[in-house]
Chain A
Amino acid sequence: MNGEQYLIMAYVVGVVVLWGYGALLWLEARAMTRAESNASAPAAPAAPALEE
């Protein structure tokens, strides 16, 4: 491998690791938003099976 190939390898590794973590956080934030909206949805009536 020559110097240019090592250079490209270093920048690809750097960009993939750093921005990859950013992308993971973004996906986690989206999942969190969904979980929050599910949690604020009105709850189902409690334990109807027991009442029967």
Chain B
Amino acid sequence: MNRTILSWAYWTITALLFAATVAMLIVYTPTERTMGPVQKIFYLHLPVAINTFVACFIVFVASIGYLWQRTMWWDDLASSAGKVAALFCTVVLLTGMIWGRNAWGHWWTWSPRLTFSLVLWLLYVVYVLIRPSIESPQRRAVVSAVYGIAAFADVPIVYLSVKFLPDIHPASIALEPAMKLTLLAWFIPVTMLCLGLVRARHVLSGRQRRLEARHRAAVADADERILHVAGEPA
């Protein structure tokens, strides 16, 4: 019961903070002179991008955790964070494309940052899609863990590409104090949302696993009873 109340409180606070930051964006944050209102996409785009890296890092750590301890708790955590990473990366790409359409005049360009971000998205979408195709839970966990560790290699490439390769993507943007405050404020609900979704997915995976185990035990028990009854002399 306490957990339910805590969970409701967490999600209510996250939603309220989300609404507050949207209101802040409308009434408080100044409009940038060169780009105009479309620059405000940045306040969602950057926190979601950083939280994509956070989710990818959770997959990385949980994958190491699984290979180290071989418990399904780690595999469930990696799987949950992988789904959230793919979801957040989708939002990063979509919001970036919408901004690019207005700022550059086209939806997509094959710049290093965008290309490596697309690779990151593909890596985690494949991670999510490939898991159900492996039948054995242990084999699935091992393959996913190795993949999850390898896929993380793209995260520093995405982050550093804009610094070391010629790129159309902005490397840094000078912000006024009010803009910096808005950006910092946006990090709070987006990070809470990211961690909350990973946690919610992880809890659900654990419950699903226990329910399946109970179901398998019940089926095995029923089979045994049927065999017992069928084997009895008439």
Q: Which residues of A approach B to under 8 Å, CB–CB?
A: 1, 3-4, 6-7, 9-11, 13-15, 17-19, 21-22, 25-26, 28-29, 32, 35-36, 39, 43, 46-47, 50-51
Contact = CB atoms under 8 A, between A and B. Distances in A.
State the majority secondary structure of interface residues on B. Answer: helix
A18 B211 CA distance: 27
B193 A22 contact: yes
B208 A32 contact: yes
Contacts of B36: 3
A43 to B, nearest CB: 7
Interface of B: 11, 15, 18, 22, 35-38, 40-41, 44-45, 48, 84, 87-88, 90-91, 94-95, 98-99, 101-102, 193, 196-197, 200-201, 203-204, 207-208, 211, 214-215, 218, 222, 225-226, 229-230
A29 B87 CA distance: 19
Nearest to B15: A19
A10 B193 CA distance: 17
Contacts, number: 95
A10 B230 contact: no
15 contacts: A3-B35, A3-B36, A7-B38, A9-B98, A10-B45, A11-B22, A13-B91, A14-B44, A17-B87, A22-B200, A28-B204, A39-B214, A46-B226, A50-B229, A50-B230
A50 B228 CA distance: 11
